[in-house]
Chains A and B, each alone.
Chain A
Amino acid sequence: MASKYLKSEQLPAFLESLAKNARVVAPFKRDGVTQYEPWQSGKDVELDVLLAKQSPKEYVFLQTETYLKFGYEMAPVPEGAEGEDAVPYETVKVDPQNEAPKQVIFGLRPCDVRGFVQMDQVFGGYGGFYFDPLYNARREATTLLAVTCREPRSTCFCTSVGGCPSSREGADVLFTQIEGGFFVEPITDKGEAIAEAAGAALTDPTDTQATEANEAKLASATKVDPAFDLEGVRDALHDNIADKRWADLAMRCVSCGTCTYVCPSCYCFSINDSIVETKGDRYRCWDNCFNPVYTEETSGHNPRAKKMNRFRNRFSHKFWYYPDKYDSLLCSGCGRCIANCPTRIDIREVIRVMGAPKEAPAASGAVAASAAAAAAVAAAADTTTEGKEA
């Protein structure tokens, strides 16, 4: 489908039309804090704040997801049973839960979308691993309407990890803010269906608007500061595994889980049971590798008892372990972990230091990435049809 134009004044009507068939989720500001929340008529979408505090991953990968309800009960004694068969006994009934209502997430950034694309590998059974029914049910029921970043922050580094502020990768529709409204590009079948359903709210764009959108995309890409050169990072992390500088970098870490919970691609979780009398739930809830008891075993032995080991695990997971297993990075360069860390631990610094080959000077990597910015936009434009389902 061809590109469209949406007037700013038409945005509420557009969301209203989406809300007829699905829950709409968008960034909203409450008490000065922007977060993704279910949209309600009359609420103004917040697009000036570049990044909500958290990525919208919690709408697909729930922070708490009860996937099993169970109950102990007495098994019915068959009629006419005698002897041992007539003795009542206790049994357990389980009831798997996997609800996935239709939803549309509007206003997420290309890096947020990329978080989903990256998580898709682990939950989607990539490489012959298990296909996660809980995640995928929600993922398939979700449509992603991304908005090109206008003012990338100083902590953004998407272009250094192969992304771009106007990337179409994984998005169903890409919106780009231009004079008076949005340039709208449906990308996938899902996206086209949404554009069609919107009807008259979307009009045909003029050539000027198309040019303007293109310029806006180029401009935003150049505003992302190069952070490091990805080339060789995986091998360097491997070679530097026992390096003393890991401990130095980890010193100011307080080992909380903020970075992982604001991250669009961190996905580790725990499973717990909860029971009251005879009825209970089994649920999974976010957990994180900085939790000191995350790996602690019953014997008291803890493979990652030291803060340094936990710290090293997170960054290595993103740039070495995960790429080895799933052929994908686990970082989309949103920079939330930097801006929200209580002590502002900077993933870019960690990669510049620990991701640099052992002999080479640490700082050299940053430069090459700058030329990559414009190239990233071009590359993103090339992926027009790739997201389409056959």
Chain B
Amino acid sequence: MSRQDHIREFAANALTEKRVDYFIGWKQGYNSSEMIPAFVTDPAEADQLVWNPLCHHNLVTFIKRNMPEPADAKVGLCVKGCDSRTLVALLQEGLVDKDRLYVVGVPCDGIVDRRKLEKMFSSEITEIEFPERGKVKVTTRAGETKELDQKDVELIGCAHCRYPNPLYSDNTAGPLEKEPDREETKPDWSALEQYESLSDDVKQALLEKIYATCIRCFACIHVCPVCVCWDKCVNRSRQPELVSQKVGPKENLLFQMVHMFHVAGRCPSCGACDRACPVEIPLGLLHAKMNKEIYDMFGFEPGVKLDEKPVFQVFDLKDQFGD
């Protein structure tokens, strides 16, 4: 039985038994190259749910504050390993009610970076198939077809994934994926090396350049599963004018800094912001940097242990600010 079949069965059962009001999984969007979040209320419709390496959406977003409809709905949802860490982060802070959730864990061996693919073809991608595990077959609107190795076109975070299996779930869709030895292997921050080697001035200039194109659409903030202030966001505050509503390189940098600091210690780098950004700003860069700092200072990985408090919610005299 495939993971997809497991998901469909768990969803149908949960709906039939009225354990949940609706079940959130993934389904195909307007063509087979786009997967989108699916909200299923009828057990008969559970077979629209799919699982493949295009199911990038972190569905935990849809259970954060102000998202469930109605607010007290009992919700079923699928989580990948990285997604589950954001769920654990919410649970650690008591921001979601465990009793109203039914979680299907989906072990994951990597998610395809659709934007990386887009840049490899001149025509629009209209079809993506997975003929076998590890292979991606892409067809364009112009009719061009190409088969690629999945590992070459995965999201940046997947290569160093430490948690391919969900850390919190009620059921698991199929066998677990192979886990890295986390005691032996420390988190890999090699993607940050280039950034960290820059001088402060160059960093400042680089960040301003990166964020210059930000259009303040709030996609990064609204899709972020641990960004929960939502309608009370400090980024929208006008009096006092903490963050200017003007759009410009310096203002945008501050806007993004607010988001970064606010999710520090709670953001496990799930990458939802990166993928949501319509102008493709590499938002994950600063979040990863923050995660590295927190790991180096406190040995803390966000959203890993259910009974752990987020690092910035505890005060420990033994905490050291570096060496």
Q: A interface vs B, CB < 8 Å?
A: 31-33, 35, 48, 50, 53-54, 63-64, 151, 153-155, 247-248, 250-252, 254-258, 260-262, 270, 272, 274, 283, 285-286, 288, 291-293, 296, 306-308, 338, 340, 342-344, 346, 349
* A370 to B290 Cα, complex, angstroms: 52
A151 near B142 with CB under 8 A, answer yes
Q: Mark B295-307, 1 if CB is under 8 A from A, else 0.
A: 0000000000000
A-B pairs with beta carbons under 8 Å apart, 20 shown: A35-B213, A64-B246, A151-B124, A151-B141, A151-B142, A251-B62, A251-B69, A252-B37, A256-B219, A258-B219, A261-B215, A272-B246, A274-B244, A285-B247, A286-B215, A288-B217, A292-B230, A306-B69, A343-B37, A343-B57
Output the least CB separation between A236 and chain B (Å). Answer: 21
The yes or no answer to B31 lying at the interface (CB within 8 A) is yes
Q: How many residues of B contact A (CB 8 A)?
A: 47
The yes or no answer to B234 lying at the interface (CB within 8 A) is no
The yes or no answer to B156 lying at the interface (CB within 8 A) is no
Q: Mark B205-237, 1 if CB is under 8 A from A, else 0.
A: 000000001011111011100000011000010
* A35 to B37 Cα, complex, angstroms: 28
Evaluate whether A293 and B30 lie within 8 angstroms (CB atoms) in the complex, with A153-B141, A154-B126, A342-B223 already known.
Answer: no
* A356 to B69 Cα, complex, angstroms: 25
Output the least CB separation between A169 and chain B (Å). Answer: 25
Q: Which of B94-102, B194-202, B273-281 contacts A (4 or more CB under 8 A)?
A: B273-281
A64 near B278 with CB under 8 A, answer no
The yes or no answer to B245 lying at the interface (CB within 8 A) is yes
Evaluate whether A54 and B29 lie within 8 angstroms (CB atoms) in the complex, with A151-B142, A258-B278 already known.
Answer: no
* A285 to B61 Cα, complex, angstroms: 27
* A260 to B247 Cα, complex, angstroms: 16
The yes or no answer to B241 lying at the interface (CB within 8 A) is yes
- Identify which of residues 88-125 in chain B touch chain A, using a CB-to-CB cut-off of 8 Å: 115, 119, 122-124
- Extra contacts, 8 of them, besides A293-B236, A342-B219, A344-B36 (Cβ < 8 A), are A50-B124, A54-B279, A254-B61, A254-B219, A256-B276, A257-B216, A285-B247, A292-B66
The contact of A274 among B216, B222, B246, by CB within 8 Å, is B246
* A151 to B69 Cα, complex, angstroms: 40
Q: B interface vs A, CB < 8 Å?
A: 22, 29-31, 34, 36-39, 57, 61-62, 66-67, 69, 115, 119, 122-124, 126, 141-142, 213, 215-219, 221-223, 230-231, 236, 238, 241, 244-248, 275-276, 278-280
A338 near B230 with CB under 8 A, answer no
Interface Cβ pair total, 8 Å cutoff:
124
Chain A residues with Cβ under 8 A from B216's Cβ?
63, 257, 261, 286
Output the least CB separation between A269 and chain B (Å). Answer: 10
Chain B residues with Cβ under 8 A from A251's Cβ?
22, 37, 39, 62, 69
Chain B residues with Cβ under 8 A from A308's Cβ?
69
* A291 to B66 Cα, complex, angstroms: 13
Chain B residues with Cβ under 8 A from A344's Cβ?
29-30, 34, 36
Evaluate whether A252 and B31 lie within 8 angstroms (CB atoms) in the complex, with A35-B279, A64-B247, A154-B141 already known.
Answer: no
The contact of B280 among A32, A248, A250, A260, by CB within 8 Å, is A32
Chain B residues with Cβ under 8 A from A292's Cβ?
66, 230-231
Chain B residues with Cβ under 8 A from A293's Cβ?
231, 236
The contact of B217 among A153, A261, A338, by CB within 8 Å, is A261
* A296 to B236 Cα, complex, angstroms: 12
Output the least CB separation between B263 and chain A (Å). Answer: 16
Evaluate whether A32 and B231 lie within 8 angstroms (CB atoms) in the complex, with A63-B215, A64-B246 already known.
Answer: no
Evaluate whether A32 and B119 lie within 8 angstroms (CB atoms) in the complex, with A154-B126, A252-B39, A342-B275 already known.
Answer: yes
